[in-house]
Structure 1
Amino acid sequence: MKNPKNIMVCVTQQKTCERLIKRGAELRDEFDGELFVIHVAKEGWNFLGKTKEGDALEYLFQKSKSYGANLTVVRSQDVLETLKDLTEKHNIDTIVLGESQENSEENNIVSKLGKRLRDEIGFEIVPVKIKKKVV
């Protein structure tokens, strides 16, 4: 019997969140854990970078619900500290993130967050899907 593992999916922009939630659901099913979808917005910023926050939040809620995930949306001055707190609160084993466009170590969210978390927490990085050119 496998040990259940809790999965946290960090989402930012609604257009890319479904592939992350889907991957989180696959991991949750594989390890019999719970799935938590988290969006932390910096205080003063629009959620999901959209002016139509209601539509964006409804989309995120529906996608999370369709994969059987718990959704948490929070505003915070310190996004990384809030994510750390949520990993502890929900006993998270693996964090699913989209591939960062930031190559430098000091600006990469995985590097920054990883330094704040306990060593046992793993990361699953979902690559950006590249659309193939039709010739």
Structure 2
Amino acid sequence: MKPTISNILVCVTQQKTCERLINKALEFSREGDSIFIIHVAKNNWSFLDNDKEGEALEYLFGIAKSIGANLTVLRSDEIVDTIVEYAWDNKINLLVMGDSKGDHSENHFYKSLKNSLDSVEIHVVPN
């Protein structure tokens, strides 16, 4: 039985492989649930000048659109804080993110999100 979830946030990077994260969010979702997709780029990152990264974001945008979700791209040097604020603003119940290299107990990004979003379930999708 799926948990009662109304708002799901998917954290993506500028890689086409993040489609698997969106698909995982779809597995968790039920009719009436909302899926939000976010990519936070540091202020000095120039992803639109990079053909591969721009193409990947456009690809992910197409996937988001096909499932009725929005892909939001934000700029911030405080990536965790920006995701946390976005999650609060959108009343997120579940956050889906990709697995980083290494053990989660050593993953600063995961720990920071978990500490700030203690009432949000975080599901890490393995590579």
TM-score exceeds 0.5: yes
- Per-residue CA deviation, residues 89-134 of structure 1 (Å, 9 max, x unaligned), is 11000000111113374543211211112x2200111111xxxxxx
Determine if the alignment matches structure 1 residue 26 to structure 2 residue 33. no
Structure 1 letter corresponding to 2:56: A
Q: Give the AA of the match of 1:112.
A: S
- In structure 1, the residue matched to 2:50 is 51
Aligned residue in 2 for 1:81 = 81
Letter in 1 for 2:15: Q
Q: What does the per-residue CA deviation read over 1:48-93, in whole Å, with 9 as the maximum and x for residues that have no partner? A: 9x71254233112101112221211011010000000000111000
Query: After superposition, where does 1:39-118 map in structure 2 within 5 Å?
Result: 39-47=39-47, 51-52=50-51, 53-103=53-103, 105=105, 107-117=107-117
Number of equivalences: 124
Query: What amino acid is aligned across from residue 26 of structure 1 in structure 2?
Result: E
Q: Which amino acid aligns with 1:51?
A: N
Question: C-alpha distance in 2, partners of 1:33/1:120?
Answer: 18
Q: After the TM superposition, which parts of structure 1 deviate over 4 Å for at least 4 consecutive aligned residues?
A: none
Q: Based on CA coordinates, which of the two structures has the bigger radius of gyration?
A: 1
Residue type at the aligned position of 2:86: L
CA distance in 1, matches of 2:23, 2:67: 7
**Distance (Å, rounded) in 2 between the aligned partners of 1:28 and 1:46:** 33
Sequence identity percentage: 45
Question: Could you tell me the TM-score, scaled by structure 2's length?
Answer: 0.85
Runs of at least 5 residues in structure 2 that lack an aligned partner in the other structure: none
- Aligned-CA RMSD value: 2.2
Contact 2:64–2:71 at 8 Å: present in 1 too?
yes
Q: What TM-score results when the alignment is normalised by the length of structure 1?
A: 0.80
Q: How far did residue 45 of structure 1 move?
A: 1.2
